[in-house]
Chain A
Amino acid sequence: MSLFRRGDQPEFDPTQPLVATGNLGRRHAVSRIIQFVAVAAAVAAVAVLVIVIWAVVSHGAKAIDWTFITTGYPTGVGPYLVGTAEVVAIATLMAMPIGVLIALFLSEYAGRRWTRPVQLVLDVMNGLPSIILAVFIYILIVASSKQQSGFAAAIALAIIEVPLIARGTQEVLRLVPEAQREAADALGVARWRSILTIILPAASGGIVTATLLSVARAAGETAPMLLLNSLAKGDAVQLNPFKEVPNVPVRIFQLSEEANPEGFTEAWGLSLILIAIILALGLSSRALLNRSKRKMTR
């Protein structure tokens, strides 16, 4: 007697003694099969991760040496690395204050009435395909100035980063004990002083975590870079963000479109560097988050 097929069983009579249904073996078997499937699914996901990372490491390690990292096109990829760091840094500098302010608005000012719409805007923004952001910034900036630039790409990346930073910050702001706010209020500290000197510092670990995660996400974004910042040749470091800045994701994409084995090796090498940076950012942010959470809940 399955518990959940209520239709085809007689009315339950609580006065009757409980009787074994006789198909316990089958039910256990079903349960065990499902548990096995769940384990298998988890193993499969981890296996895919291992296979992909292994492919990148084993192919990429062959490409990487000192000249590969330090020289420019055609022998190395230095300018791409510098360019990616530059564009992502600009994007983060724009996104971080805005993201933190939105989080502050949500946690400190918005009552019930305003939380939901703002949250919804953030969710929609977070869910927007990056290619659409790329098209948007193209229309807004590149089409009118007739000039691709790292700065244009940085704006698109900033739009990607804002909801991530805002959400992460909001989550740690929620962890700041209510007692601290009340204590500040009781001492007669003005709201803005308590926010800037008590609440924000308490949440700083979480803000850095959220920012690191958003940097990891932005560093690998290809669509905005492809539409807004893809014409640089990569033979020299370009520090002016208002010109085309060479960058890693576009280079990998372009190399993968050319059927050239030597190019593939370079792309594997770039992939390895990019993935290493992104995973390092992810792991360090996780460690940081655990530490600051422990500190806050102590």
Chain B
Amino acid sequence: MSATPPAGTASLKLARSNRQSPARKRADRFGDIALFVICAAAAVLALLVLILIAKEVIEGAQPAISKFGLEFVTNSEWAPPLEQFGGKGVILGTLITSAMALLIGGPVAISIGIFLALLAPTSVRNVISPLVEMLAAIPSVILGFWGLLILGPVLVSTIEPFLHDTFGFIPLFGAPQTTGNSVFNAGLILTIMVIPIIASVSRDLFMAVPRDLQDGAAALGSTRWEVIRGVVLPTTLSGMIAACLLGLGRALGEAIAVAQVIGGSTESHLSLFKPGGTMASLIALQFPSAVSKLHTASLYYLAALLLVIGIAANLLASWVGQRFGGAGGVAR
């Protein structure tokens, strides 16, 4: 014990070595501020880019906005050589395809979420979950190409005549055409793109529902479906709405796959089986070969409308998730 110095000096030494030199202190103060500023700057940069996007696109659309005003939305004539531009046809096409994607894809995706989170054993879930997410990883251009070459012919030869014969009295199911490029095809491709998004979000939502609540309902004698219907779905309703809005945003904005399979017409019609167009796909198809300044500006106008709708859908999704978020308030 005699070798060790008295306790007092040891702690004094430690304290001294731990005391920082003024230079290091200054460096640390500078480093702290610098890292904070850099990080904050990155966050601000993201905001600035977003604002710049809105500004540039709306400015680019200005000639078309001042020429056509809001009538752009209700005018269905899109004739580049005549300098006549009205977006009714493609806006209608956008609404129809997106609605189709949500109406088919939403329930299917939520069912998948139920299966993955509540019904499947863990081993099955660990296989199926990544496969469903893989569906989201397929590039849209490949999905569109598949829709064009494989899905289209199948639709024309079998499904469209069947739907027309059965539900032909509804204007949506008009006479089948000779080509597989149709609004219907685009709607189905969008459905495939929307499903994995909504499915993985709703799976996470359902997994977050407290086990106790479900067990409680089951103990009261509920069947499995009654547990889901009475406990799981109500607590996650807001999250599911948010998920569907995310899917909607994706469906509204998809340009490439839709451009490949929809046939590229700007006519305003309700038939699912005729070629049509959506706002995003029209931009993709006509932008590279726009014939005049006004033509380009009108495409910018479409982009601006799309931007507004897209941002609104996102904000709404975030707001719904936040405002009504219960047990599963996590929007994603």
Please determine whether A102 and B42 come into contact, CB atoms closer than 8 angstroms. Answer: yes
Which of A28, A51, A128, A220 has a CB less than 8 Å from the CB of B310?
A128
Please determine whether B139 and A135 come into contact, CB atoms closer than 8 angstroms. Answer: no
CA–CA, A224 and B229, complex, Å: 43
Say which one of A72-80, A85-93, A233-241, A267-275 lies at the interface with B.
A267-275
| Given A44-B108, A105-B40, A249-B139, A132-B253 contact (CB < 8 Å) | yes
Q: How far is the CB of A95 from chain B (nearest CB, A)?
A: 11
| Given A140-B56, A252-B145, A46-B32 contact (CB < 8 Å) | no
Q: How far is the CB of A49 from chain B (nearest CB, A)?
A: 5
Please determine whether B36 and A127 come into contact, CB atoms closer than 8 angstroms. Answer: no
Please determine whether B143 and A52 come into contact, CB atoms closer than 8 angstroms. Answer: yes
Q: Is A30 an interface residue (CB 8 A)?
A: yes
Please determine whether B50 and A35 come into contact, CB atoms closer than 8 angstroms. Answer: no
| Given A45-B195, A222-B256, A256-B145, A39-B115 contact (CB < 8 Å) | yes
Say which one of A62-70, A176-184, A189-197, A203-211 lies at the interface with B.
A189-197
| Given A139-B56, A139-B57, A274-B142, A45-B108 contact (CB < 8 Å) | yes
Q: How far is the CB of B222 from chain A (nearest CB, A)?
A: 6
Interface positions of A from 133 to 150, Cβ below 8 Å from B: 133, 135-136, 138-140
Q: Who on chain A is nearest to B313 by CB? A: A127
Binary contact track A214-246/B, C-beta < 8 Å → 1, others 0: 001101111100110010000000000000000
CA–CA, A260 and B100, complex, Å: 31
Please determine whether A3 and B256 come into contact, CB atoms closer than 8 angstroms. Answer: no
Please determine whether B45 and A98 come into contact, CB atoms closer than 8 angstroms. Answer: yes
Q: How far is the CB of A87 from chain B (nearest CB, A)?
A: 14
Q: Who on chain A is nearest to B20 by CB? A: A188
Q: Is B138 an interface residue (CB 8 A)?
A: yes
Chain A residues positioned under 8 Å from B223 (CB to CB)? 27-28, 30-31
Chain B residues positioned under 8 Å from A56 (CB to CB)? 142, 146
Q: Is A278 an interface residue (CB 8 A)?
A: yes
Please determine whether B32 and A223 come into contact, CB atoms closer than 8 angstroms. Answer: no
Please determine whether B310 and A127 come into contact, CB atoms closer than 8 angstroms. Answer: yes
Chain A residues positioned under 8 Å from B28 (CB to CB)? 190, 192-193
Q: Who on chain A is nearest to B314 by CB? A: A127
Interface positions of A from 241 to 292, Cβ below 8 Å from B: 249, 252-253, 256-257, 264, 267-268, 271, 274-275, 278-279, 282, 286
Q: Is B224 an interface residue (CB 8 A)?
A: yes
> Which secondary structure dominates chain A's binding surface?
helix
- The winner among B112, B135, B230, B318 for most chain A CB atoms within 10 A is B112
Q: Is B252 an interface residue (CB 8 A)?
A: yes
Please determine whether A278 and B141 come into contact, CB atoms closer than 8 angstroms. Answer: no
CA–CA, A4 and B119, complex, Å: 21
Please determine whether A130 and B142 come into contact, CB atoms closer than 8 angstroms. Answer: no
Which of A106, A162, A195, A268 has a CB less than 8 Å from the CB of B35?
A195
Chain A residues positioned under 8 Å from B12 (CB to CB)? none
Please determine whether A278 and B137 come into contact, CB atoms closer than 8 angstroms. Answer: yes
Count of A interface residues, CB-CB < 8 Å? 92
Please determine whether B32 and A102 come into contact, CB atoms closer than 8 angstroms. Answer: no
Q: Is B81 an interface residue (CB 8 A)?
A: no
Q: Is B163 an interface residue (CB 8 A)?
A: no
Say which one of B64-72, B166-174, B280-288 lies at the interface with A.
B280-288
Please determine whether A42 and B146 come into contact, CB atoms closer than 8 angstroms. Answer: no
Please determine whether A139 and B60 come into contact, CB atoms closer than 8 angstroms. Answer: yes
Q: How far is the CB of A133 from chain B (nearest CB, A)?
A: 7
| Given A45-B108, A222-B141, A190-B32 contact (CB < 8 Å) | yes
> Which secondary structure dominates chain B's binding surface?
helix
CA–CA, A101 and B40, complex, Å: 8
Please determine whether B310 and A52 come into contact, CB atoms closer than 8 angstroms. Answer: no
Which of B128, B139, B299 has a CB less than 8 Å from the CB of A46?
B128
Q: Is A129 an interface residue (CB 8 A)?
A: yes
Chain A residues positioned under 8 Å from B73 (CB to CB)? none
CA–CA, A136 and B59, complex, Å: 11
Which of B52, B134, B249, B255 has a CB less than 8 Å from the CB of A131?
B255
CA–CA, A159 and B138, complex, Å: 20
Chain A residues positioned under 8 Å from B252 (CB to CB)? 129
Which of A40, A45, A130 has a CB less than 8 Å from the CB of B199?
A45
| Given A127-B310, A131-B255, A48-B135 contact (CB < 8 Å) | yes
Q: Is B196 an interface residue (CB 8 A)?
A: yes
Q: Is A37 an interface residue (CB 8 A)?
A: yes
Chain B residues positioned under 8 Å from A217 (CB to CB)? 137
CA–CA, A81 and B277, complex, Å: 31
Which of B56, B114, B128 has a CB less than 8 Å from the CB of A136?
B56
List 22 A-B pairs, Cβ < 8 Å.
Answer: A27-B225, A31-B224, A31-B225, A41-B107, A45-B196, A45-B199, A52-B146, A105-B42, A121-B43, A123-B317, A124-B315, A125-B46, A125-B49, A128-B53, A129-B249, A129-B253, A131-B256, A190-B31, A191-B35, A192-B28, A195-B35, A264-B149
Interface residues of B, Cβ cutoff 8 Å to A: 18, 20, 28-29, 31-32, 34-36, 38-43, 45-47, 49-50, 52-53, 56-57, 59-60, 107-109, 111-112, 114-116, 119-120, 128, 130-135, 137-146, 148-150, 192, 195-196, 199, 217, 220-226, 228-230, 246, 249-250, 252-256, 259-260, 280, 283-284, 287-288, 299-300, 303, 306-307, 310-311, 313-315, 317-318
Q: A55-B150, A139-B300 are in contact. List 8 more A-B contacts (CB 8 A).
A: A38-B112, A48-B135, A56-B146, A130-B253, A131-B256, A131-B306, A159-B49, A275-B138
